[in-house]
Homo-oligomer: A and B are copies of this chain.
Amino acid sequence: MSLESVPPKYAQLVQTLQRRIEAGDYPPGTMLPSENQLIQEFGVSRPTVVAALRVLREQGWIESQQGKGRFVRGRPALARAEQPRPGHAYLTTPETGSPGEVLEAGAQAVPNRVAALLDLPAKSRAFLRRRLVVRDGEPSEIVSFWLPLELSEGTDLTSADALADSIRGHLQARKGVRVDHIIEQITARMPSTDEAKRLGMPKNTPVLDVYAAVRDASGRAFVVVNVLLPADRHELEDAYPISSAS
């Protein structure tokens, strides 16, 4: 009675080989059995074997060299960079998850850089929500969200309390906008005296200044997230795989 559709043979082969690599039957660096050996062992045709091996290669489990064979790389740990980038993190984490203090929440004239990212005319106004985040009892970073005025209407962003919802979830639920990708720009500069005071920074210490333009599928930015990180307490980390082809 099993109406459950059985997965295609090549997909089963992919799973089997993945499990063997993870179990250590095929240790990283060693050679995988050749196509002919796999054909014999599993009793399938060559196109089926090749289809499975192609999937494994595209997912980063193995590498192949014409004339030599296929080599095990291991589980593609960071196949797709999954570390939390700052822009993404602040966009999806509810404010209630970390203590802090709302510094500003209202319309303001936008800085030039934010205007350019949001594609607004220079010196126009936009909605700003700025928050000082506290970690371990000490001021840690300043997070600012810039939105076009029409996007801020009908939201809870003017509240002085921490938002229980993430900015992303909030905007998607209330305004129907969908995040497609984010472009981050990382700079360093000296903090203003006000910033240095709020962050409790020692003298002569720079800040990392991250601008994240949050864009929809058409490439239009509808939110800019700005994060100010004292360089003596924060650093940014990023990991990415290198394709052997290039």
Contact B180 A217 (CB under 8 A): no
Task: Give A239's nearest chain B residue, CB to CB.
Answer: B183
Q: Which of B77, B217, B235 contacts A77 (CB 8 A)?
A: B217
In whole angstroms, what is the CA distance A231 to B187 when docked? 6
Q: Chain B contacts of A231 at CB under 8 A? A: 187-189, 206
Contact A239 B78 (CB under 8 A): no
Q: Could you mark each residue 29-51 of chain A with 1 if its beta carbon is under 8 Å from any beta carbon of chain B, else 0?
A: 10000000000000000000000
For residue A108, give the distance in angstroms from its CB to the closest CB of chain B. Answer: 23
Given the known inter-chain contacts A217-B29, A240-B85, please indicate yes or no for A186 contacting B184, CB distance below 8 A: no
In whole angstroms, what is the CA distance A130 to B18 when docked? 42
In whole angstroms, what is the CA distance A73 to B246 when docked? 27
Q: Which of B58, B183, B190 contacts A204 (CB 8 A)?
A: B190
Q: Could you mark each residue 63-91 of chain A with 1 if its beta carbon is under 8 Å from any beta carbon of chain B, else 0?
A: 00000000001100110010001001000
In whole angstroms, what is the CA distance A205 to B241 when docked? 33
Contact B236 A182 (CB under 8 A): no
Q: Chain B contacts of A178 at CB under 8 A? A: 244
**Cβ of A5 < 8 Å from any Cβ of B?**
no
In whole angstroms, what is the CA distance A132 to B103 when docked? 42
In whole angstroms, what is the CA distance A204 to B192 when docked? 12
In whole angstroms, what is the CA distance A201 to B57 when docked? 46
Beyond the given A92-B246, A186-B238, could you list 9 further A-B residue pairs with CB under 8 A, ordered by the A residue number? Answer: A28-B217, A58-B58, A88-B242, A182-B239, A183-B238, A184-B237, A186-B208, A186-B235, A190-B205
